[in-house]
Structure 1
Amino acid sequence: MYGFNLQGYRHAAMPTGSGNRHEFGGFSGAAFRLVPPLEAGRDADWPF
């Protein structure tokens, strides 16, 4: 599950950090580049 916190870097709206729950601070094209590495279960460098 992916969430986009449009208020910036405040507390997450849902429990995150385990399993398949991820929340991004803000909404931009860079967030979509992070989805494939998260789903592949591997570490990745910053996409920008």
Structure 2
Amino acid sequence: MYKDVIAMIASGQLDVKSIITKKIALDNIIEDGFQALTTDKSQAKILVSPEM
């Protein structure tokens, strides 16, 4: 099942960009990530990137 979903995302059949509500750097995971998820109910999925 996961392989099918990953393939659909990779091929562009499934657009997941609208699911991501915020992008943060790995170094800011506590301040910008965990605190946002616990205090801001509009946050659904936060993408953590080590390359930001």
Structure number with the higher helix fraction is 2
In the superposition, the TM-score normalised over structure 1's length comes to 0.24
Q: Which has the larger radius of gyration?
A: 2
Greater relative contact order, per chain length (Cα 8 Å cut-off, separation 6+):
2
In the superposition, the TM-score normalised over structure 2's length comes to 0.23
